[in-house]
């Protein structure tokens, strides 16, 4: 969600529901959504009730838009994020406070990628395998559980991973920073290898 001015907001998600409208700022006059965004019937009624104008147009996401989340506060993660922000590589903090367990965290962060709020995300947590498994059930997610930078690089090179679940604690400041640097680069899904080989040879 991006507040254009005090009365106009851009909604980047694929679906706009009543629960989403309740999170938006009071006094809105206009909500801008993409041309393919689905409105739930309740959301449509609420927009009409409040007199909010719905505008459909292509939304441009900021280049290098990436997000990060933590299962709890990690001092080294926060130090790395601050250092990257000073270099102009500012990520979006994805709110997951109160969510417990790798599955719930993976789904919560993955949904933000699936909705188009960010192009890629990194989750620092104790259960990266469970988080990646949950995220991979969402449309458009290519999640991988990683421990260090070599695994993260392989995940992006071979899977085009747009969600990295990083095992914490145990990572150094430099590992964390390198993984965040990877997240700041928008991954793309690798092209399929069309060459077919005979396994019997």
Per-residue pLDDT of 114-129, as tens digits, reads 877 788 899 999 999 9
Please indicate, yes or no, whether residues 8 and 86 belong to a single structural domain of this protein.
no
Spatial distance between the Cα atoms of 30 and 51, rounded to a whole number of angstroms: 9
Residue 188 confidence (pLDDT): 53
Residue 148 confidence (pLDDT): 86
Spatial distance between the Cα atoms of 191 and 177, rounded to a whole number of angstroms: 28
Please indicate, yes or no, whether residues 30 and 128 belong to a single structural domain of this protein.
no
Domain containing residue 72: 66-184
Evaluate whether residue 19 is within a structural domain.
Answer: yes
Please indicate, yes or no, whether residues 37 and 116 belong to a single structural domain of this protein.
no
Please indicate, yes or no, whether residues 108 and 50 belong to a single structural domain of this protein.
no
Please indicate, yes or no, whether residues 50 and 71 belong to a single structural domain of this protein.
no
Please indicate, yes or no, whether residues 130 and 166 belong to a single structural domain of this protein.
yes
Contacts of range 74-80, beta carbons closer than 8 Å, 24 or more positions apart: 74/124, 74/168, 74/169, 74/176, 76/171, 76/172, 76/173, 76/176, 77/124, 77/168, 77/176, 79/173, 80/173, 80/176, 80/177, 80/180
Please indicate, yes or no, whether residues 118 and 97 belong to a single structural domain of this protein.
yes
The tally of domains found in the chain comes to 2
pTM over 0.75: no
Evaluate whether residue 134 is within a structural domain.
Answer: yes
Task: With a cut of 50, list the residues of the chain below it in pLDDT.
Answer: 1, 61-64, 192-201
């Amino acid at each position: 969600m991006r507040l254009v001015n005090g009365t106009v907001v851009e909604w980047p998600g694929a679906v706009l529901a009543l629960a989403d409208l309740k999170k938006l700022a009071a006094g809105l006059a206009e909500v801008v959504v993409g041309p393919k965004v689905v409105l739930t019937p309740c959301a449509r009624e609420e927009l009409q009730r409040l007199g909010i104008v719905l505008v459909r147009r292509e939304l441009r996401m900021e280049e290098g838009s990436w997000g990060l989340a933590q299962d709890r506060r990690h001092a080294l993660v926060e130090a790395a994020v601050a250092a990257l922000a000073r270099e102009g590589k500012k990520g979006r903090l994805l709110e997951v406070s109160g969510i417990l367990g790798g599955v719930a965290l993976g789904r919560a962060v993955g949904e933000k990628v699936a909705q188009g709020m960010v192009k890629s995300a990194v989750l620092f947590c104790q259960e990266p395998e469970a988080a990646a498994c949950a995220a991979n059930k969402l449309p458009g997610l290519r999640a991988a559980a990683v421990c260090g930078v070599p695994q993260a690089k392989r995940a992006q090179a071979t899977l085009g991973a747009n969600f990295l679940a990083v095992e914490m604690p145990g990572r150094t400041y430099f590992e964390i920073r390198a993984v965040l640097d990877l997240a700041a680069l928008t991954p793309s899904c690798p092209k399929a290898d069309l060459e077919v080989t005979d396994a019997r040879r």
